[in-house]
Amino acid sequence: MVVHGRFPERDRRRLSVLMPCWRCESTESSLEERVTTWLVDYFLKTHRGVGVHQDCAPDGQVLELGFDLITIITLSLGLLPRETRKDFHGRDDETRDAILQAGLPRLPYVSYLVEALLEAIDALLKRNLSFALSKPSWPIGVSWVVGLSHDVDHLSKWVARNLPLRVGDLKRAVREGDRILGALKSLLATAVGPYLGRRDPYSNVGDVAQIENQKGLAATYFLGVADPGYSPFEITYDPNTLTSSISFASLREMGHEVGLHGSYASGDHRDSLEHEAQQLRELSQSAVVGGRQHYLRFDRTAVSHSLRAGLLYDSSWGYWSKPGFRGGFGSPFQLGPVGVSASNRIVEIPMTIMDTSLREFLHLDPRGAAEAGNALITEASQASGLAVINWHNSAFDREDPRSFGQVFLELLEAVLENHGTIWTLETIARWWHYRDSLQASVDEDRLSVTHPDGLKAVSLRVLGNPSLVPVDEARGARLSTDPRGRRRLTVPTAGLDAVGAAG
Ligand SMILES: [Zn+2]
């Protein structure tokens, strides 16, 4: 952000937005409770936007926020020291996650609080004859984004290795008194082999890819390079089955991305991620720049392993038991040590809506699942944010007449109706890296925008007084008001087209 005003330097330094420090005021054990209670009061009980900021100096040069954004974000990311417990698979125990249990992840609350901070800065600068420019969330013409992804855990349903899963299906069918015959048939096919001429219900990656392609969409397919014998929870195919089942050439031709589904084993032995990424690059003849860990077994403090594996992004930040914006994040964010360059960080692309949480953990029927997914999609659009859909290929099970494949298609329709832009996760990560390197500066009365490889134009948000912004109209710069009433400065930038170039 660049701040500029028509007053002496010494006065400009006095403009301040203060925030309280809840960490100083609370003990560690009460901090989580305090943050959760504040968030519940602010977002779920009262109207948003109340009590955001207030003057705390008579000259109007200091504003104070009503909340401690830094503590909220660090606690939401699980980065403050607190008593954490791991679940059976070594992940944070979601049953003890106060924010999740309070129902807060149905909102991308971090995005709303950052917006409240920007509004406070806007108010402060307006009354002090100054302005600031802030980076755009998305390129020109993109108001909000949905990332489309598929974790591929199984390439065949009817294989002996899957017998325990099919026994589980049958038990569930008996318990629910529904589809017992279907579950029995599937169990038999798994035990003795497929019945004549029937294609395996999970041999469907190419079909899903084609459906998306016909809609003009591209998705990320997370594929694993695993030893299925490692654990009963491991990805169930080996590299040979992967190459014989997936046509990488046709995925590439359709514009889909191949990402790494880091094996269950790589959650225990993080060094193996590098080897898996390399092997997948060789097998798929694709760049493989991102990953999501099987069972979401990701350690956000172990970014170095993703970097060594040559990954630009990870998309394991999400809840397995419930859909929602984990820790209130409805936007990508950088993950890595503070103060290091972007090349030493990865982009985290939070996963929002996963078929298995809706189906297996919340036990929703297709209608309930579509409603839950739609609510999150609406929130992402309202926050000009991001929602990432993860639909396993097993959700497009041809044996199941209540296929969750239909729910997936309904969600896509809802995104397009809400004017969302659908991208692969690689495109999201590349934009976020690009955005990180955008710089604007004002020298005398000249504004310059620097960027590494160039969009046709970039649209910066103007906070404060727009009449002070030096607009170089001769070079095509212009001020405008966006549909939300926010002032924007569009600056053409010479150079090559990059991701999401302005239309
Ligand atoms: Zn998986």
Does residue 180 sit in the same domain as residue 205? no
Element (H, E) at 74: helix 69-76
- Predicted confidence (pLDDT) per residue in 376-424, tens digit: 999 999 999 999 999 999 999 877 766 789 999 999 999 999 999 999 9
**Predicted local confidence at residue 127, as pLDDT:** 87
- Rounded distance from Cα 263 to ligand 1 centre (Å): 8
110 domain-assigned:
yes
Q: Over range 34-55, report the average pLDDT.
A: 78
Query: Is the domain of 325 the same as that of 399?
Result: yes
- Identify whether residues 98 and 112 lie together within a single domain: yes
Residue 445: what pLDDT? 73
Looking at per-residue pLDDT, the higher value among 80 and 319 belongs to 319
Is-contact 460 433, C-beta < 8 A? no
Residue 403, pLDDT score: 75
Residue 401 has what pLDDT? 62
pLDDT at 190: 84
- Ligand 1 center from residue 65 Cα (angstroms): 41
In this structure, is residue 32 part of a structural domain? yes
∠497-502-503 over CA atoms, to 5°?
Answer: 110
pLDDT, residue 497, reads 37
Question: Looking at the structure, do residues 296 and 339 belong to the same domain, yes or no?
Answer: yes
- Residue 295 CA to ligand 1 center (angstroms) comes to 5
Average per-residue pLDDT for the chain: 87
> Which of 99, 134, 169 is the last residue in one of the domains?
134
> Residue 14 — very low, low, confident or very high, per pLDDT cuts 50/70/90?
confident
Cα–Cα distances (Å) from 490 to 127, 335, 446, in that order, read 24, 29, 15
Any domain includes 141:
no
Q: Residues 370, 359: one domain?
A: yes
Of 182, 219, 225, 221, the closest CA to residue 201 belongs to 182
Would you place residue 4 in the very low, low, confident or very high pLDDT band (cuts 50, 70, 90)? Answer: low
Query: Do 228 and 284 fall into the same domain?
Result: yes
Check whether residue 426 and residue 451 sit in a common domain: no
Q: Are residues 381 and 295 in the same domain?
A: yes
Instruction: Work out how many domains the chain is built from and give that number.
Output: 4
Write down the pLDDT at residue 1: 56
So what's the pLDDT on residue 313? 96
- Pair (221, 303) in one structural domain: yes
Q: Could you tell me the distance, in angstroms and rounded to a whole number, from the CA of residue 242 to the centre of ligand 1?
A: 14
User: Parallel, antiparallel, or unpaired for β 457-464 and 446-450?
Assistant: unpaired
Per-residue pLDDT at 9 exceeds 70: no
Q: What is the reported pLDDT for 371? A: 96
Q: What is the distance in A from the centroid of ligand 1 to the CA of 393?
A: 10
CB atoms within 10 A of CB 256: 25
Last residue of a domain, one of 402, 431, 460: 431
How much is the pLDDT for 494? 55
pLDDT band of residue 102 (cuts 50, 70, 90) is: very high
Which pLDDT does position 59 carry in this prediction?
A: 74
Which residues constitute the domain of residue 190? 158-199
Residues 208 and 179 placed together within one structural domain of the fold? no
Q: According to the model, what pLDDT value does residue 500 have?
A: 37
What is the distance in A from the centroid of ligand 1 to the CA of 418? 29
User: What is the Å distance from ligand 1's center to 6 Cα?
Assistant: 56
State in Å: Cα 177 to ligand 1 middle.
28
Residue range 293-322: mean pLDDT, rounded: 92
Q: How far is the CA of 254 from the centre of ligand 1 (A)?
A: 23
The beta-carbon contacts of 442-448 under 8 Å, at least 24 apart in sequence, are: 442/2, 442/4, 442/470, 445/470, 446/470, 446/472, 447/133, 447/471, 447/472, 447/477, 447/489, 447/491
pLDDT above 70 covers what percent of the chain? 89
Let me know if residue 440 belongs to a domain.
no
Instruction: For residue range 210-258, list pLDDT tens digits in order.
Output: 999 999 999 999 999 999 999 999 999 999 999 999 999 999 999 999 9
Structural domain contains residue 438 = no
Task: Determine contact, residues 76/89, Cβ cutoff 8 Å.
Answer: no
How high is the pLDDT of residue 79? 81
Rounded distance from Cα 202 to ligand 1 centre (Å) = 14
Global confidence as pTM: 0.91
> Looking at the structure, do residues 384 and 469 belong to the same domain, yes or no?
no
pLDDT, position 184: 87
Tell me: pLDDT of 498 over 50: no
Percent of the chain with pLDDT over 90: 52
Largest alpha-carbon pair distance within the chain?
84
How far, in Å, from the CA of 61 to the mean position of ligand 1?
A: 52
Closest CA to 188 of 165, 213, 163: 163
We report the CATH number of the domain holding residue 318 as: 3.20.20.370
Domain presence at residue 139: no
Ligand 1 centroid, distance to 394 Cα (angstroms) = 10
Kindly give the distance from the C-alpha atom of residue 390 to the centroid of ligand 1, in angstroms, as a whole number: 10
Q: Are residues 326 and 453 in the same domain?
A: no
Mean pLDDT score, 176-196? 80
